[in-house]
């Protein structure tokens, strides 16, 4: 049999990790649940302590459990999160030397498409949530830092209301990879109060216009407008950092 035709047999530790991972994903093990003792799990799976701990290490690397050593130690469950996915995606992007501008461009494309989908699919409850977020933005107009964080929540809400979970996960990952760097960089550069008010006002007016387009189910117009807006703010946010790589950010 040719080497490439051989089937790789999973190690026992991987099988243990796979079984526990499935229980976590199916909701049979909730957030913070303590796993049984090592002795109980060794007997249940018919494996040795080193094999069980190998399975634990796999799940720890995936962010699905945390293990505390000692007499009062043990393993506790953590539900899958976007942070875990972002770490894995970030590692791949690091390896490929991806720039923040590249990541932001992908985010803008996905987010603008989400705006069009939101315009097409929304209901009255969705509009209510968008209007509540606009009201929060309005209240923060005189607080530049607070507005930036509420504005980011508005963007993510638009993606959520598009109704596609995969799209929501992908955009959330991209936000986690670049947002902290771009926001902190922007806040450091834009320190003049008058300039801050001008930029905040423009962002709030753009958000308000998008909600109006969504309300009127102007699908194509919403997508085109949001892509243009995201491109414009990207030039500001990425100033002096567009050539910076994900490795520079995460190292």
pTM of structure = 0.74
Residue 250's pLDDT band (cuts 50, 70, 90) = very low
Residue ranges of the chain assigned to CATH 1.10.10.10 = 3-77
185: left (phi over 0), alpha (psi -120 to 50) or beta: alpha
How much is the pLDDT for 137?
A: 94
Q: What is the pLDDT of residues 130-176, one digit of tens each?
A: 999 999 999 999 888 889 889 999 999 999 999 999 999 899 888 88
Q: Quick check: 120 pLDDT over 80?
A: yes
Residue ranges of the chain assigned to CATH 1.20.120.530 = 83-250
How much is the pLDDT for 251?
A: 45
Q: E strands, the chain, where?
A: 65-68, 74-77
Contacts of 216 (CB under 8 A, 6+ apart): 119
Question: CATH for 83-250?
Answer: 1.20.120.530
How much is the pLDDT for 88?
A: 75
Pairwise pLDDT comparison (147 vs 81), residue with the higher score: 147
Task: For the chain, give the mean pLDDT.
Answer: 85
Q: What is the pLDDT of residues 19-56, one digit of tens each?
A: 999 998 888 988 989 999 999 999 999 999 999 999 99
The CATH architecture one would assign to domain 3-77 is: Orthogonal Bundle (1.10)
């Amino acid at each position: 049999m040719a080497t490439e035709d051989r089937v790789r047999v999973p190690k026992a530790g991987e099988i243990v990790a796979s079984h526990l991972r499935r229980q976590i994903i199916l909701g049979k093990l909730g957030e913070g649940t303590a796993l049984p003792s090592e002795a109980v799990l060794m007997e249940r799976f018919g494996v040795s302590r080193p094999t069980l701990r190998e399975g634990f290490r796999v799940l720890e690397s995936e962010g699905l459990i945390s293990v505390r050593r000692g007499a009062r130690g043990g393993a506790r469950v953590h539900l899958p999160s976007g942070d875990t996915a972002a770490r894995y995606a970030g590692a791949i992007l690091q390896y490929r030397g991806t720039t923040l501008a590249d990541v932001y461009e992908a985010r803008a494309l996905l987010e603008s498409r989400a705006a069009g989908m939101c315009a097409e699919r929304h209901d009255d409850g969705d509009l209510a949530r968008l209007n509540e977020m606009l009201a929060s933005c309005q209240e923060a107009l005189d607080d530049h830092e607070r507005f930036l964080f509420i504005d980011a929540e508005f963007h993510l809400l638009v993606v959520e209301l598009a109704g596609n979970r995969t799209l929501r996960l992908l955009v959330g990952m991209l936000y986690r990879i670049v947002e902290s760097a771009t926001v902190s960089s922007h806040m450091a550069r834009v320190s003049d109060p008058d300039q801050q008010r001008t930029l905040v006002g423009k962002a709030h007016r753009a958000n308000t216009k998008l909600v109006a387009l969504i309300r009127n189910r102007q699908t194509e117009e919403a997508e085109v407008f949001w892509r243009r807006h995201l491109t414009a703010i990207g030039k500001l946010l990425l100033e002096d950092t567009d050539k910076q790589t994900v490795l520079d950010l995460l190292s």
